[in-house]
Structure 1
Amino acid sequence: MLEFKLDEDFEGFLEDFGMPEQQESCSSITLEKFKNKLPERLLEYWQEYGFCSFKQGLFRIVNPSDYEDLLGEWLEPTDIPDNDVYHVFARNAFGDLFLWGEETGYKYKVMVARGWVIEKKGKVKKDHNTAIEYFFGFLDTASHDFKDEAGNVLFESCIKKFGALAPNEMFGFEPSLIVGGEANFDNINKVNIFVHLSILAQFGQIEVLDHDALIRKAFS
């Protein structure tokens, strides 16, 4: 293993998000499983930092193996699996999943609270190492918070009420926004991410949105 060299994009990410928490080392078996499927640079992050959270669970780098079944449930109603093989490589406190395609790179983000699968531009495979560096370099903490109906961010209030998130936990709305629940603090609970997202997938209201469709949703 070569000595790890921190790139400026991930360095900027660490400046914004702080040092890793709840670190779990990445095994050689996992590295071998995802070799040539995910960017080599991402695997180097795994070797250096492991699977870990940032800012009490606001953002988390995850083991894709843990999310394979769940991702299958979310993508099964769509034609997305026909185009590439996708893996969850990161997620946030409100359950949003970030997907990397073996050929297409960062192609989709799943906004689970809304039941939306949002299409991104993606990248050809020869650019994947640069693309994963850019992904982390352009992240900001505010984009991973969630706003209530009045536009107030919720994460800090959730942490004060429920405490930091464990690796298998997220903040979810009960009742779900997908079935008409309201986005307010009183409806948030700390839940098991695998159970909660599996239930949401079973509602059968998953929508795939490109950029234009997302804009229309935002202003509808």
Structure 2
Amino acid sequence: MSEFKLDEGFEYFLEKFGKPEKQESCTVETLEKFKNKLPDRLLEYWQEYGFCGFKSGLFWIVNPDDYEGILDEWLEHTDIPDNDVYHVFARSAFGDLFIWGEETGYKYKIITASGWVIEKKGKVKKGHNNAIEYFFGFLDTKSHDFKDEAGNVLFESCIKKLGELEADEMFGFEPSLIIGGETIFENINKVNIFVHLSILAQFGQIEVLDHDALIRKAFS
């Protein structure tokens, strides 16, 4: 690839989220595997920064290979895989997964704690490089935190109690919200993200929601 030039979107992202942490280099083999499948711009981020966390693990840029099995488990009982080939390219401290379609772009976000697959607008392939720049540029730290039943944000309290996250860890509710667990700080633990998300997928209570359905769900 050519010499990396920082775009405005990712520059703004770094201003809000800080320097990359716990970086793991991206191999040439991985870059070649995802060439023409994911945006060239995203691959340039991988080459420059690797796979890494930000803000003590609040947000992560991840290797899609690591999440292939988990994504299959979450989508296998939907018709989503019939429409495109999808990859997890980022995730949050509380297990939200951000999904990129090879043809449709940023098409889905999975809020795993609630069992919701949220449908996004997506983007035609010729606009993918701009779309990934916009994705990072418009991210904010508050949207990746989680609120308890009283409306209190939880991430900083989780860090103080349980410590910073590693690349294979997340903060998860035990018992799960999907099976009626309470959204309270006392129910949060640090867990292996792959084991925890696999267990959540096996509950079989996954809902696919478009924007209107999400609004109705939020106010129901």
Question: What TM-score bracket applies, with the shorter chain setting the length?
Answer: over 0.9
The alignment's TM-score, normalised by the length of structure 1, stands at 1.00
User: C-alpha separation between the residues in 1 aligned to 2:143 and 2:150?
Assistant: 17
- Aligned CA RMSD, in angstroms, stands at 0.3
The residue type equivalent to 1:97 in the other structure is L
User: C-alpha separation between the residues in 2 aligned to 1:214 and 1:182?
Assistant: 20
Where do residues 122-137 of structure 1 align in structure 2 (5 Å cutoff)? 122-137=122-137
Where do residues 69-108 of structure 1 align in structure 2 (5 Å cutoff)? 69-108=69-108
Instruction: Tell me what 1:116 maps to.
Output: 116
Deviation at 1:96, TM superposition (A): 0.3
1:161 aligns with 2:157: no
Structure 2 gap segments, 5+ residues each: none
User: C-alpha separation between the residues in 1 aligned to 2:189 and 2:92?
Assistant: 15
CA deviation vs aligned residue, 1:135-160 (integer Å, no higher than 9, x gap) = 00000000000000000000000000
User: C-alpha separation between the residues in 2 aligned to 1:86 and 1:150?
Assistant: 35
The residue type equivalent to 1:148 in the other structure is D
Instruction: Tell me what 2:53 maps to.
Output: 53
CA deviation vs aligned residue, 1:16-56 (integer Å, no higher than 9, x gap) = 00000000000000000000000000000000000000011
The residue type equivalent to 1:115 in the other structure is G
Query: Could you say what secondary structure the match of 1:56 adopts?
Result: helix
The alignment's TM-score, normalised by the length of structure 2, stands at 1.00
1:218 aligns with 2:218: yes
User: C-alpha separation between the residues in 1 aligned to 2:78 and 2:151?
Assistant: 31
Instruction: Tell me what 2:66 maps to.
Output: 66
User: C-alpha separation between the residues in 2 aligned to 1:45 and 1:64?
Assistant: 14
Deviation at 1:128, TM superposition (A): 0.1
The residue type equivalent to 1:90 in the other structure is A
Query: Could you say what secondary structure the match of 2:56 adopts?
Result: coil
Where do residues 132-211 of structure 1 align in structure 2 (5 Å cutoff)? 132-211=132-211
Query: Could you say what secondary structure the match of 1:165 adopts?
Result: coil
Instruction: Tell me what 1:23 maps to.
Output: 23
Query: Could you say what secondary structure the match of 1:171 adopts?
Result: strand
Q: What number of residue pairs does the alignment pair up? A: 220
Deviation at 1:170, TM superposition (A): 0.1
User: C-alpha separation between the residues in 2 aligned to 1:154 and 1:101?
Assistant: 31
Deviation at 1:195, TM superposition (A): 0.2
User: Percent identity at matched positions?
Assistant: 84
CA deviation vs aligned residue, 1:143-200 (integer Å, no higher than 9, x gap) = 0000000000000000000110000000000000000000000000000000000000
The residue type equivalent to 2:58 in the other structure is L
The residue type equivalent to 1:71 in the other structure is L
User: C-alpha separation between the residues in 2 aligned to 1:70 and 1:83?
Assistant: 18
The residue type equivalent to 2:147 in the other structure is K
Query: Could you say what secondary structure the match of 2:110 adopts?
Result: strand
The residue type equivalent to 1:174 in the other structure is E
The residue type equivalent to 2:160 in the other structure is K
The residue type equivalent to 2:62 in the other structure is V
Structure 1 gap segments, 5+ residues each: none
